[in-house]
Amino acid sequence: MEAVAKSYNHRNQPVTALAGVTLHIPKGDFVAVVGPSGSGKSTLLLTLGGMLSPSHGQVFLDGCSLYDLSPEQRARLRRKKIGFLFQTFNLVAYLSAIENVQLPLFLAGMEERDQRVKAESLLERVGLADWLDHKPSELSVGQQQRVALARMPANDPVVILADEPTGSLDPDTSEDVLDFLQELNREGRTIVMVTHYPAAAQRAKRTVKLVSGRIRLDETISTIEPARDGQKDVI
Amino acid sequence: MQLRNLVCRELFERRNQLGTSFLAILLGITAIVAIKNVTFYSEKAVAKELDALGANILILPKSATLQGYYSADMQEEEFPEEYVTRLATSDLQGLDNLSPKLCVPIAVEGKSLTLTGILPRNEFQAKAAWQGAGIFARPQGCGTTSIRLPLASKETLVRKRVIETLGEREALVGADVAESLGVKQGDEVKLLGKTFTVIAVLPQTGTVDDSRVFAHLHTVQELAGKGRVVNAIEVVGCCSQISKGLVQKINKLLPDAKVVTITQVVDTQIRTNRMMSHLSGVFLVIIVLVGGASTANYMYANVFERRREIGTLMAMGADSSLILRMFLLKALLLGLAGGIGGYLLGSVLAIALGPRIAGIPVLPMPLLLLWAVGLSVAIAVVASYLPARRAARLDPCVTLQEI
């Protein structure tokens, strides 16, 4: 991100969500974005994901300026390279667990039979092999988040953007989710995670603290091994 | 997972929510199909009735008085035979058999009879100028019987009041005449000093036709010394064209003639048709307004309710055209279901109520299925377009309510 600013009007009051944020995230990094409520964490995440155009500045992904692309081109890019994980899971209520995981595969144009095979293996990976045809309302909160976890890497994204992924979960399930994110990170995926929880932030390689839309702290956690050699910046 | 699965799953899982708009379309289509179905068979039945009556329009001299339909030509006023040519070469739609007549009172063996000159149809066909004038081409939807009847058929003259061929010295005699003169088919009879062969004795009709002798118009004109004149022209007018003002058009073409029709029957038909047509129109407006508004309202609510889902799909890479297609496909399915359901219900209603309301048997009309589905789909898709476009243009950030 280069000098990214985002402001908007809320009830006729100007609000500055991001105020000139510059942030370089190398490939394979695991960044925890922390800060108080209203500091611009979610805005930063959506801007990184090509979902929210900045008022000023530019966002690059693999050297490509996201907001110089048309909305359709950005949608295509999200389909191929970005996976989202939401605090409220955002599962489609009328679809079963497997159908929810199939969604990104359908959007990517995969054949129906292949979709099902891949979705099954993803759900098996998160321990939901016996819950394939259950709707979200028939699953526990932890199981719902696991469906969301299975859906997230379905299209094999290089970047995963997670917004408070443990916000609605009990400690044990939170640990499972963080383990899964670390596992995905070890596979070489870049992860940016917004969180309120210091314990969750400590699972990342790097912590960025936002206050009033500005970066106040950007530190690499020493206990976590740094990005592998030869990896270039992706964001 | 395909787009159709996604749409069908949502439709099926939330079917209760679209109940009102589906019902509005279903009932509207049902009513229109039922009315159109009954109207079609009602028109057909009346057209058949009119056809059975024979000619339904009379063209008379301006000063003639109409005492009775079957004796309309039995008066002394005359007009030129050339009027027939004018009618035949006009571009009027819905004219069928033209039958010019000239009546001459005669006495045979001391008995008073009427000699009626008629023009056989082959005389029309022989005139090149009348070819293609549409006189013998049956307009669509008339619902009358086939024009091609056996040559010199007795039924032809009685029912259609026209005959295919008639020789110069050939005659057809009414039932009463045959009885009083004691003649039968193949006999000879002397009329106005000339001998004629009886080619047929007409069946009893209970009208003045039973006391007539029919011969070729030009022979009667010659024997009576009348020149090329006639007393009346009988016309089989297509019922639907009569309701569209055929009588007035003939009046305009022949301003010196009087044009009358079997008003009672035709007026009833006109009134029925007009009422059904208006009723059908009213229902059409209602279904477009109520069905359209209800569908649009439902779709707007559906888009609002699903904005988080739309945002999620967009976050996963769905573009706006996919979101638009998702909602329009849903509208298409809603329209298809409403159209097919409406057609089935409407047909059942028409079959059940047709005999009670209109006193006629009603059969289902497959053509109405296309009409019903087309209308229903058009209403659903057009009404859903703006909500669908709104969904496609939603800001994914706002829909996710993450800011």
Using alpha carbons only, what angle is made at residue B126 by residues B69 and B88, rounded to the nearest 5 degrees?
45
Q: How confident is the model at residue A227 (pLDDT cuts 50, 70, 90)?
A: very low
Q: Which residues of B touch A43 (CB under 8 A)?
A: 403
Q: Which residues of B touch A17 (CB under 8 A)?
A: 403
- Arithmetic mean of pLDDT over chain A: 88
Looking at the partner chain, which of B3, B316, B403 has a beta carbon nearest the beta carbon of A79? B316
Amino acid at the residue A143: Q
pTM given for the model:
0.66
Q: Which residues of A touch B316 (CB under 8 A)?
A: 78-79, 84, 103-104, 107, 155
Q: Which residue has the tokens 């270039």?
A: A232
pLDDT of residue B268: 60
Looking at the partner chain, which of A42, A99, A112 has a beta carbon nearest the beta carbon of B403? A42
Q: What is the predicted ipTM?
A: 0.86
Strand positions, DSSP E, chain A: 2-10, 13-21, 30-34, 56-58, 60-61, 64-65, 82-85, 159-163, 190-194, 206-211, 214-220
Question: Mean pLDDT across the stretch B247-260?
Answer: 85
Q: Would the CB atoms of A105 and B1 count as touching at under 8 Å? A: yes
What is the CATH T-level fold of the domain A2-215, as seen in this structure?
Rossmann fold (3.40.50)
Domain boundaries, chain A: 2-215
pLDDT of residue A157: 92
Question: Mean pLDDT across the stretch A49-59?
Answer: 90
Is it the case that residue A219 has pLDDT exceeding 70?
yes
Amino acid at the residue B248: Q
- Closest CA relative to residue A192, chosen from A3, A47, A18: A47
Tokens of A113: 């039979």
Q: Would the CB atoms of A72 and B1 count as touching at under 8 Å? A: no
Q: How confident is the model at residue B109 (pLDDT cuts 50, 70, 90)?
A: confident
Tokens of B262: 């079997």
Nearest Cα residue in chain A from B6: A95
Tokens of A13: 């009051």
Is it the case that residue B141 has pLDDT exceeding 70?
no
- Chain-centroid distance of CA B22 in Å reads 33
pLDDT of residue A168: 76
Q: Are B249 and B238 in contact (CB under 8 A)?
A: no
Q: Would the CB atoms of B317 and A94 count as touching at under 8 Å? A: no
Is it the case that residue B41 has pLDDT exceeding 80?
yes
DSSP state of B158: I
Choose, out of A15, A78, A80, the residue to mutate when testing the contact with B (most B CBs < 10 Å). Answer: A78
Q: Which residues of A touch B6 (CB under 8 A)?
A: 95, 106
Name the strand (E) or helix (H) holding B162.
none
CB-defined contacts A:B, below 8 A = 87
Looking at the complex, report in whole angstroms how far the Cα of residue A223 sits from the nearest Cα belonging to chain B. 32
Q: Are A123 and A132 in contact (CB under 8 A)?
A: yes
Least confident piece of the model among A28-32, A216-220, B376-380: A216-220
- Closest CA relative to residue A56, chosen from A87, A16, A98: A16
Which residue numbers of B have CB closer than 8 Å to A's CBs? 1-3, 5-6, 9-10, 13-14, 308-309, 311-322, 396-397, 400, 402-403
Using alpha carbons only, what angle is made at residue B115 by residues B114 and B118, rounded to the nearest 5 degrees?
130
* DSSP calls for B314-379: HHTT--HHHHHHHHHHHHHHHHHHHHHHHHHHHHHHHHHHHHHHTSS-----HHHHHHHHHHHHHH
pLDDT of residue B267: 63
Looking at the partner chain, which of A78, A105, A106 has a beta carbon nearest the beta carbon of B315? A78
Q: Would the CB atoms of B397 and A52 count as touching at under 8 Å? A: yes
Dump pLDDT digits (tens) for B329-363.
999 999 999 999 999 999 999 999 888 877 778 89
Dump pLDDT digits (tens) for A168-204.
788 888 898 899 999 999 999 999 999 988 889 999 9
Using a CB–CB cutoff of 8 Å, tell me whether A190 touches chain B: no
Is it the case that residue B131 has pLDDT exceeding 90?
no
Strand partners, B245: none
DSSP state of B244: T
pLDDT of residue B11: 86
Looking at the complex, report in whole angstroms how far the Cα of residue A86 sits from the nearest Cα belonging to chain B. 9
Looking at the complex, report in whole angstroms how far the Cα of residue B308 sits from the nearest Cα belonging to chain A. 7
- Chain-centroid distance of CA B205 in Å reads 28
Q: Which residue has the higher pLDDT, A54 or B132?
A: A54
CA atoms of B344 and B340, how far apart (whole Å): 6
Q: Would the CB atoms of B1 and A43 count as touching at under 8 Å? A: no
Question: Mean pLDDT across the stretch A157-178?
Answer: 88
Looking at the partner chain, which of B9, B318, B322 has a beta carbon nearest the beta carbon of A95? B9
- Closest CA relative to residue B375, chosen from B22, B5, B3, B32: B32
Dump pLDDT digits (tens) for B316-329.
889 899 999 999 99
Using a CB–CB cutoff of 8 Å, tell me whether A46 touches chain B: yes
CA atoms of B85 and B344, how far apart (whole Å): 50
Alpha helices in A52-194 (DSSP H): 71-81, 97-107, 112-125, 141-151, 171-186
Dump pLDDT digits (tens) for A134-145.
999 999 988 998
Tokens of A57: 């500045």
